[in-house]
Structure 1
Amino acid sequence: MSSTSSDVITEPVAGTTAPPRALPNGLAAFLVFLSSGAVLVLETVSLRLVGPYVGVTLQVTSSVIGMALAAIAYGAWMGGWLADRRDPRTLIAPALVLAGIATAVTLPIVRYAGEVLRGGAASAVLLLTAVTVLLPAALLAGITPLVVKLQLADLRRTGQVVGKLSSIGTLGGITATLGTGFILVAALPSSVIVLALAAVLGATGLALGFWLRRRSGGGPSAPGRAKAALALLGLSAAGLTAAAPNPCDVETAYHCARVEVDPQWPEGRTLYLNSAEHSYVDLGEPTHLKYGYTQWIGLVADLARPARQPVDALHLGGGGFTVPHYLAATRPGTDNLVFELDGGLVDLDKRELGLRTGPQLRARVGDARVLLGGEPTDSRDLIVGDAFGHLVVPWHLATREMAADVRRVLRPDGVYVQNVIDYPPDRFIKAELATVSAVFEHVALIAPPGAVAGRQGANFLIIASDAPLPLAGIPAGLKLLPEPAELLDEARTAEWVGDAQVLTDDYAPVDQLLATA
């Protein structure tokens, strides 16, 4: 077995215990690559697992990353500590098997704990992310120092061995991150990814049948001049960053936001989020709807109830609060409740976009799905879905479970409208229509003719209800708008959707469906 390793093993001193032999180089590299990559698979999938319970917010993302890093830190420390006290041969295989078990039980733990911790308070987020990733990631992180210990058979090559294995571990993490984000999540449900990873870890641990004895060693520290050069480079980079122009009026926890005055209308304001045009607000005339999709929402709202009749409206996503202002102006007495993830954006709206909150226009900061779960059943006449992460509907707001909760909150004759952006070949909008159709009795669509024909990217407006939809007046109303749009009634919508995939909490590859390549 030792003949396959290129490491030179020194002869033991008489009267001492011979050090364990080094692993074959290929096996050592594989174990480090696998264990490091598995940690990143867990970290990436964990966001999908906890999202339905505590939302997908900066705090949740930070918690998952922080818990993964904590697991790596403590796991590596513990693995190194054990490597100096026990023969690594006796530890690597059990660690892999235990990591596989811990990974497998993550699914039920998250699903049970998620129901108890549902809501999104900081303590709930930290606890749920901890039980999701901490134990399996720590066990996996402990494998690298155990392998390194076995490979340090020649003190003259300590730096080379440690550097090589560290590089391989990093490459494993990079490969896992890209592979999970671009391939696995698009191809497999989260539960399958987790269970498959658990199976690979367990099988690898069981198949590992040989060990080598340990040696210790340490790497040299960086030269003083190199440290000084790195410090100078860091200060220079910090200075350049501070001097660089900032494209944001406000950098919130979620957005780089700015507001620009309409050069053609002094009362007009355009809100940009992460450099994308997001909302238009007319400070002098709240019934002025500039964008096509807001005009469609206004048209559906006008037809859903008799004119001037107040409605109870819930808005999933605030942006510039254009539609709530429209409803308040056209239907005095309307109760507008807006769920907006970004509290900094609400503050910006108050400062620059004329937002005035009160009893009939309330803004509640938090994740729309989490907040929706706390709303009473049969309490709203109209629900407007207009939440985006940049130009993408957050995946956990696009699933069948989310649509079911929307239906629960709507009154039996209530109407749900959802704004979606997609591009040819229109895989996401079709999947989202299939998803909403799996919950609601009646579903229709408004979109530009070129978008329906697959020639252009555009906004699409889904209209859904359990009661017959108010479609009769929509075609005539669309003809009065400046930009062409058409209504696909229920039959045409179903035909256009075809056999598109229904999105669920377990399988909602929104980003991949939106990819045009």
Structure 2
Amino acid sequence: MSDNGIRLDWVTGRAGRAATVMRDGHPQSFVDLDDPTVLAFEYVQHFAGVLDALPDGPLAVTHVGGAGLSLARYVEATRPGSPQIVLEPDAALTEVVRRELPLPRRHRIRVRPVDGRSGVAALRDASADVVVVDAYADGRVPPELGTVEFLTDVARVLSPGGVVLLNLADEPAGRYVAAVAAGASAAGLAGQCVVATHEVLKGRRFGNSVLVATAGVLDVDGIRRRAARSPFPTGVRSGAELAGRVRSVRALTDATAAADPDAASSPPPPTLGRWRLR
């Protein structure tokens, strides 16, 4: 079916139960209603691995970007009772997802039709244990979601020891990821690691990395153990190696984003099938 550029690509033989959510030709989410722990996209598995490394029990999670609500469904399934807020400005997409891929009963997922920047600004101090930033427009992270100012607001919203997880697409040199990490450090979120496939970490292709940042102490060993279980060959970069990359770039700011939005966005994705392999 298609609805204003929104399409659900149903898994063969499972119409109504599992589908990839498409928006303007771009895959947004994979949803399996029978088993919400099935996560098809590698970076969503990386999100889940980091969440699994956090202490047991419900988590207050704010999602910047929702699409098919895959990660919110995962949290609901693995940590029942977790209060979750999803900031998703695409109300038409949310309507299709709710209608065709309904949420489970008694969930605590609340979707707000607002953009990430204004939605985070409206949240209470220390109201989230985790903030997940997974928002794209035309295949790129919007410029306002990678700046020091935005990350400072995220730090305000996080509870003591809370973490932010950002899905960042970048070219092999990794300068955009490093710039956002520098902004997180400037915002007081200096405990950091990056989770990605080995090919992406080694700069062999364009791809997604998950930047994890906190004002507290990260359980990097726990994150590494879960990364080792991923069906995709996955690694974790932290410590001096990551710090060296962060020192080599300037953090993005609202001023630089306003002056040159294109340069402050994540790099445009390559043509499908051309991943700039080295």
| Equivalent runs, 1:13-32 vs 2, <5 Å | none
Structure 1 equivalent of residue 263 of structure 2: 512
Moved over 6 A (4+): none
SS of the residue 1:345 aligns to: helix
SS of the residue 1:260 aligns to: strand
Structure 2 equivalent of residue 400 of structure 1: 148
Bigger relative CO (Cα 8 Å, ≥ 6 apart): 2
Give me the CA root mean square deviation.
2.0
Structure 2 equivalent of residue 279 of structure 1: 29
SS of the residue 1:464 aligns to: strand
SS of the residue 1:473 aligns to: helix
Matching residue within 342, 345, 351 for 2:99 = 351
8 Å contact kept, 1:392–1:511: no
The CA distance in 2 between the partners of 1:430 and 1:265, in whole Å, is 41
- Greater share of strand: 2
Extract unaligned runs of 5+ from structure 2.
271-275
Task: Calculate percent identity across the aligned residue pairs.
Answer: 30
8 Å contact kept, 1:434–1:500: yes
Is 1:293 aligned to 2:34, yes or no?
no
Q: Which letter does structure 2 place at the counterpart of 1:282? A: D
From the CA coordinates, give the structure whose radius of gyration is larger.
Answer: 1
Q: TM-score, normalised by structure 2?
A: 0.89
Once the two structures are TM-superposed, the CA of residue 264 in structure 1 deviates from its matched residue by: 7.0
The CA distance in 2 between the partners of 1:389 and 1:348, in whole Å, is 18
Once the two structures are TM-superposed, the CA of residue 453 in structure 1 deviates from its matched residue by: 2.1
The CA distance in 2 between the partners of 1:510 and 1:483, in whole Å, is 33
The CA distance in 2 between the partners of 1:249 and 1:351, in whole Å, is 13
The CA distance in 1 between the partners of 2:107 and 2:230, in whole Å, is 32
- Number of equivalenced pairs: 264
The CA distance in 1 between the partners of 2:54 and 2:76, in whole Å, is 15
8 Å contact kept, 1:340–1:366: yes
Is 1:360 aligned to 2:111, yes or no?
no
Once the two structures are TM-superposed, the CA of residue 348 in structure 1 deviates from its matched residue by: 0.7
Is 1:262 aligned to 2:11, yes or no?
yes
The CA distance in 2 between the partners of 1:490 and 1:345, in whole Å, is 39
8 Å contact kept, 2:46–2:196: no
SS of the residue 1:390 aligns to: coil
The CA distance in 1 between the partners of 2:91 and 2:129, in whole Å, is 26
Q: Any idea what the Cα deviations from partners look like across 1:448-475, whole Å, max 9, x if unmatched? A: 2221222101111000101100211222
How has the CA–CA distance of structure 1 residues 310 and 361 changed in structure 2, closer, same or farther, with 3 Å as cutoff? same
Q: Any idea what the Cα deviations from partners look like across 1:309-348, whole Å, max 9, x if unmatched? A: 1111111110110011000110111001100011111101
The CA distance in 1 between the partners of 2:119 and 2:61, in whole Å, is 15
The CA distance in 2 between the partners of 1:502 and 1:362, in whole Å, is 32
Once the two structures are TM-superposed, the CA of residue 415 in structure 1 deviates from its matched residue by: 0.9
Is 1:250 aligned to 2:6, yes or no?
no
- Greater share of helix: 1
Q: Which letter does structure 2 place at the counterpart of 1:320? A: G
| Equivalent runs, 1:232-251 vs 2, <5 Å | 249-251=2-4
Structure 1 equivalent of residue 273 of structure 2: none
How has the CA–CA distance of structure 1 residues 265 and 484 changed in structure 2, closer, same or farther, with 3 Å as cutoff? farther
Matching residue within 443, 446, 452 for 2:201 = 452
The CA distance in 2 between the partners of 1:270 and 1:287, in whole Å, is 15
8 Å contact kept, 2:163–2:213: yes
The CA distance in 1 between the partners of 2:212 and 2:201, in whole Å, is 15
Q: Which letter does structure 2 place at the counterpart of 1:301? A: L
Q: Which letter does structure 2 place at the counterpart of 1:496? A: R
